[in-house]
Amino acid sequence: MNYLYSLNPLLQTIIATLFTFTITSLGSALVFFFKKVNHNILKSMLALSAGIMLSASFFSLINPAIEQSNKLNLNIPLTLSIGLFLGTTLLYLADKLFNKKIKHKSIKRNIMLILSITIHNIPEGMAIGVAFASILTSITTPASAFALAIGIGIQNFPEGSAISLPLRQDGLSRFKSFLFGSLSGLIEIISGIIGYLLVLKISILLPYLLSFAAGAMIYVVIQELIPDSQNSNKKEFMTILTMIGFTIMMILDLSLG
């Protein structure tokens, strides 16, 4: 880990997003072994990752956004509100757009799966890139940024299988189902680099991008992860897992960051 911490933050960004992409691919690879995966296992992972991402939104993104806004003498409530609103609005509009454009039920389901998860991976990748870029301003640490990437990576596993398994059930080959599931995570590498470079070139964007990423992640947690995980006969257990995920990420961030 010390070697990873000593690397250039841009290289750390690439490594971290490659990690999240790999986890997505591993989730997609379940299509080679199963036609279906135990729903309770997938829902447990969603519940855990919901807590991790919610915690990361506050401790790894919003808190650093407050610190950087203070350093730049920006209006903190206004800056965070703008970022949170834009992050939330982006995903809301994307969901509405693709819900209206696609009518055929089977095609709609599959395309929505691919597009929605791919779109949601954009701010997640940016969150990683922004987190590592903020190392240069001493707002966060490599350990904290990697912890954020791990949290995002965990929830990418069920996302990968959520694409590949339904595609396989609808008659697509195992390889093509795997390929579509894996490619949905590729955007995180690209968006991670873009997020990093944006902060590097225009430092005043950092608090806006941090809160933007937080807004997008919170939207995903509230709109998808928590409802999906709660759609179970073990709701109390899923709630406990969400709190465990939140606590784990909080401890990691506060002790390492």
Q: Which residues contact 185 (CB under 8 A, 6 or more apart)?
A: 20, 21, 23, 24, 25, 121, 156, 159, 160
Residue 138 falls in which region: left (phi positive, over 0), alpha (psi -120 to 50) or beta: left
Written as six digits, the tokens of 158 are: 């069920």
Instruction: Please give the pLDDT value at position 41.
Output: 74
Instruction: Please give the pLDDT value at position 104.
Output: 46
Q: What is the mean pLDDT of the chain?
A: 81
Instruction: Please give the pLDDT value at position 103.
Output: 47
Compute the half-sphere exposure of residue 160: CA atoms within 13 Å on the CB side of its CA. 28
Instruction: Please give the pLDDT value at position 110.
Output: 62
Written as six digits, the tokens of 162 are: 């959520």
Give the confidence band of 94 by pLDDT, cuts at 50, 70, 90.
confident
pTM for the complete prediction? 0.67
Among candidate residues 252, 237, 251, the one with its CA nearest the CA of residue 48: 237
Among candidate residues 175, 159, 169, 50, the one with its CA nearest the CA of residue 114: 159
Instruction: Please give the pLDDT value at position 21.
Output: 93
Q: 189-223 pLDDT, tens per residue?
A: 999 999 898 887 777 887 888 888 788 888 878 88
Instruction: Please give the pLDDT value at position 257.
Output: 54
Helices and strands (H, E) in the chain, number of each type: 11, 0
CA–CA separation, 221 vs 7, rounded Å? 31
Instruction: Please give the pLDDT value at position 64.
Output: 81
Q: 2-48 pLDDT, tens per residue?
A: 777 778 888 999 999 999 999 999 988 988 887 666 777 778 877 88
Averaged pLDDT for residues 158-164: 77
